[in-house]
Homo-oligomer: A and B are copies of this chain.
Amino acid sequence: MSAYQAFDNEMAIEYINNLGGIFPPDAQLSCYEFGDGNLNLVFRVTDQHNHSVILKQALPYARCVGESWPLTLDRARIEANALLRHGKVCPTHTVQVIHHDSVQAVTILEDLGHLRILRGELNAGRTFANLGRDVARYLATTSFYHSDFYLSAVEKKSLVQTFTNPELCAITEELFFDDPYQDSERNHYPDALSPEVSKLHRNKALKLAIAQLKTRFLSSPQALLHGDAHSGSLFVDDTTTKLIDPEFAFFGPIGFDLGSFIGNLLLNFCAQHGRINEPSKRRDIHTYLLRTIDICLSEFEQQWLSLCAQQGKDSTLLVPGYAEHFLNDVFQDAIGYCGCEMIRRTIGLAHVSDLDEIQDVKARLRAQRLALEVGEQLILHARSCHNKDACYQLIISVLQ
C-alpha cells in the first residue's frame, strides 16, 4: 500500500502481518474497531495468547463537524512524534509508540485496555490517589525539557517547525476562544441557558481577558504541549496514569495543558452536584477533586523548579528568582485557560459527558450554570493571582 487508504479490520491485520516484529511469526490475529470515529479509526489487534496492540489511523476529516472540516493526515505524524518526545522524558506517563507510518497515518501503540478513561471513572464517582501528582509530573517534565530553560534556541526553533500544527490549532482557536463569546452555529446549549450566554457575550472585561488568552495561545511557543489534556485523554487505574492522543500537540503556553486538566476536574466538580444526591458522598468527591488540583499545582511547581535547578541550561534564564516569576505567569495562564475550558465545554461545540449525562434536567441546568459562572470568574481574576497558592484560593473562593 503506497497511498493512503482508510483501513477495515482485515487491512489492519494485514498491515501488522506485513510489518512483522509486532507479534510472533505464528500469531493468529483478530481485530475490531472501537474508536468514536470522530477523527480517527482505532483498532485493537489481538493474538491467540491475548497479547494486543492498538492501531490508530487518522481519518482525513473531522466527522463530528461533517465533511466540511477536512483535516490533514499530518496530525498523525505530529501525534506520534509528540508521544515519542514526551515518552523520552516521561515514559511513566506517556503511552508507548511501537511503530509509526506517516503515509498511512498509522501509529501502533501499546494497548492500555487494562486501564480506564478518567472521565468515565470520575463520572462514576471513582477516585485515583496519584492522579494530581502524576499529571503534574507529566506536564512539568514534558514542558520543561521542551522549554527555553533547557533547549538551545536553535534546537527549539527546529522543533517548533516540526510541531507546527496549524489545522488542529485552528480548531482550538475557534472552539476555545471565538465561538463561546459570540453567536456561532457551532455553539449548542439549552434555551434556558440563553440569559447566561447573553451575559457572557456582553461582559467586556471577560472578552478582553479572552483576547489576551487567545493571543498567548497563538504566539507564545513556550514548550511542546499535549494540546488536548482533558479527562478523555487520560488512562488511569489505582497505580498508573497515562496520557494519550496528543494530536493537537504544538509549541504553546505551558499553562494551556495545566488549565485544560484542571478545567476538566472542575467541570466534574460542577457536574457532581447533579450526579450524587447523598451529601456526604458528594462532599467526598468534591474534596478529592480539590485535593487533586492542589497536589497538581504544588507538584508541578516543585518538579519545574527542581528540573531548573538540576537540568537548566540557559544561564540568563537561570538567574535566581526568574523560574518562579515564569511559573507564576504559567499558573495565571492555567487559571484563565481552565475557565475557557469550562465555558466552551458547557455551551460550545464539544461538550463533556460529566454535564450532558446528568439525567435530571433542572439539576443539569444548575450544574451548567455553575460551570459557566466558575469559568467566568476564573478568567476574570486569573491575573490577580500572584502565586500558586493564590490560584488555588481563587478556585476555592469561586466554587463557594
A359 at the interface (CB under 8 A from B): no
* B215 and A326 within 8 A (CB): yes
* A321 and B220 within 8 A (CB): no
A287 at the interface (CB under 8 A from B): no
A3 at the interface (CB under 8 A from B): no
* B325 and A212 within 8 A (CB): yes
* A208 and B325 within 8 A (CB): yes
A320 at the interface (CB under 8 A from B): yes
Residue-wise, chain A 147-173 has the 8 Å CB interface mask toward B (1 for contact) of 010000110111011001011011001
Give A173 to B316 CA distance when docked, in angstroms.
10
* A158 and B153 within 8 A (CB): no
* A315 and B182 within 8 A (CB): yes
Beyond A222-B219, A316-B181, whether A169 also contacts B148 by CB under 8 A is no
| Set of chain B residues within 8 Å of A314, measured between Cβ atoms | 214
Give A315 to B181 CA distance when docked, in angstroms.
10
A114 at the interface (CB under 8 A from B): no
Residue-wise, chain A 198-212 has the 8 Å CB interface mask toward B (1 for contact) of 000000100110111
* A208 and B157 within 8 A (CB): no
Residue-wise, chain A 308-319 has the 8 Å CB interface mask toward B (1 for contact) of 000000111101
* A220 and B218 within 8 A (CB): no
* B221 and A219 within 8 A (CB): yes
A322 at the interface (CB under 8 A from B): yes
Beyond A218-B148, A219-B148, A219-B222, whether A316 also contacts B177 by CB under 8 A is yes
Give A316 to B169 CA distance when docked, in angstroms.
15
* A204 and B321 within 8 A (CB): yes
Beyond A161-B164, A316-B178, whether A218 also contacts B153 by CB under 8 A is yes
Which of chain A's residues 124-159 have a Cβ closer than 8 Å to chain B? Answer: 148, 153-154, 156-158
* B153 and A211 within 8 A (CB): no
* A158 and B154 within 8 A (CB): no
The 6 closest A-B pairs by CB, nearest first: A211-B322, A207-B319, A154-B166, A157-B166, A148-B218, A211-B317
Q: Using CB atoms and an 8 Å cutoff, list the residues of chain A in contact with chain B.
A: 148, 153-154, 156-158, 160-161, 164, 166-167, 169-170, 173, 177-178, 181-182, 204, 207-208, 210-212, 214-215, 218-222, 314-317, 319-322, 325-326
- The contact sample of 12 A-B pairs, CB cut-off 8 A, is A148-B219, A153-B166, A156-B218, A158-B166, A178-B315, A178-B316, A208-B321, A210-B316, A211-B317, A211-B325, A219-B221, A220-B220
